[in-house]
Structure 1
């Protein structure tokens, strides 16, 4: 096998995000439910004799982006001597809280595990992914998940907790948000009570809140504007993750044509399983 093309890297939504405490080292303890959606980047891989190179279209990426770092981490962990050129078609916006970079890294690990014939298990890939970012191991899993700790405790949602098919509108304002700015804010609520999966499963699309949202609205007025705009459509909106994107379930037809021109608007469906779920063994 010399190449792999059109490898998907899907985004995620945080259906809720509670901050339940803080460790002695300053890391925040979280609870969340991560749900895959069909807004995806597309990655292409060409084997090379040696070295890792990367090109991109759709938006400018830093030279040492997560795809490049993932490929090099896999080389180091496996001892594989070969190289690869990675081409990324970016569709998922940055600083949105949608996990685009982490998903790209996960799909890179899965694709190169196959392209290079390494035969590493999902668990081995997740151990490598954890060194790249807290969300990467989730995107290496098969399905939607309940996430706790600092993002390191990941439990797949079982059959009785699986999410019903639904449609969502995702709005990414022009401005972005840096995770560090939110978590360092003195306004951040850090003492939410711990939730249970059973409570969440009873009403997954209306459960809880995003504890980062109040801080984000103070730091980025466009977040507040987007929330109000979706509210004017009769939709119950909230922020996803720690970026500036907000979302709402769409139970009925909605006119979205009056949004500011600089915003990115995407109507998505949720995914029951990661599109690369069969690309690694457990």
Structure 2
């Protein structure tokens, strides 16, 4: 095998509770990760040397700092592999959108290069490597919609309805660090059990970051208000994307036809098994 083309799916945070702050600055949270059938695509071509190339580059991000390159380097370093790869990234997910695009790209690089280089690493080993790159990477490595706790790394797979979603990006990039450092961010939501959260369902789900993000980025609040006129809507992660859940694709199409200029939007279907795992035969 010399080439691979693999998806890097988006995620939504169907709920996000900040339950505390650790001494190391990380926040304790509870969240429900919903994988989507929409995302970026990565093209891999194996090299017989150790070079890692990535195109196109991301403006403002150094080549070696890109999560895809970092994932490849980490995999080389950990496994002792002397192979490399030429990687092309077809980017569809907005940066700073709360959809996990960078983390998903890193996970696809870990799984894709492990397959391309014939490395004997299982999902547990790859998820552990992913955690070194970011708290959201393991959920994409494991490839299941999941309930998450800790900093997002303690995962329990869940089965969610395969609803339709409209995801709206208001054209701003949210700085996650600024949100988590904001003094007004609520950090004391009482923890609940996964069973209770799933029993309560979407009407009770909320995102503790949403008030802070809307205050710091008024454009997010405007997008949220507009989308809420069609269906109950929520911020995903720390934003900037907002989303609503629908039962019919036709409802999603109707909303998309009304999105004004300056905003980007797409429809997607929720999935319990990642398109990446399906493509690799891991489903």
Preserved contact between residue 4 and residue 112 of structure 2 (Cα < 8 Å): yes
* TM-score (normalizing by structure 2): 0.92
What corresponds to 2:38 in structure 1? 39
Instruction: Report how far residue 280 of structure 1 moved.
Output: 8.5
Deviations 1:170-205 (A, max 9, x none): 001111101000000011001001121112222433
What corresponds to 2:211 in structure 1? 214
Unmatched segments (≥5 aa) in structure 2: none
What corresponds to 1:232 in structure 2? 229
Correspondent of 2:243 among 224, 247, 258: 247
What is the DSSP-based 3-state SS (H/G/I as helix, E as strand, rest coil) of the residue aligned with 2:276?
coil
Unmatched segments (≥5 aa) in structure 1: none
Instruction: Report how far residue 265 of structure 1 moved.
Output: 0.6
What corresponds to 2:153 in structure 1? 152
Distance 2:142 2:23 in 1: 29
What corresponds to 1:117 in structure 2? 118
Aligned length: 275
Distance 2:266 2:119 in 1: 36
What corresponds to 1:56 in structure 2? 56
* TM-score (normalizing by structure 1): 0.93
Deviations 1:223-278 (A, max 9, x none): 10011101222x10110001210001124524333323121111110012012336
Superposition map of 1:1-16 within 5 A: 1-5=1-5, 7-16=6-15
What is the DSSP-based 3-state SS (H/G/I as helix, E as strand, rest coil) of the residue aligned with 2:166?
strand
Correspondent of 1:200 among 181, 197, 211: 197
Q: 1:13 to 1:61 in 2, by over 3 A?
A: farther
Preserved contact between residue 56 and residue 87 of structure 1 (Cα < 8 Å): yes
Preserved contact between residue 56 and residue 90 of structure 1 (Cα < 8 Å): no
What corresponds to 2:169 in structure 1? 172
Distance 1:110 1:258 in 2: 38
Superposition map of 1:85-164 within 5 A: 85-157=86-158, 162-164=159-161
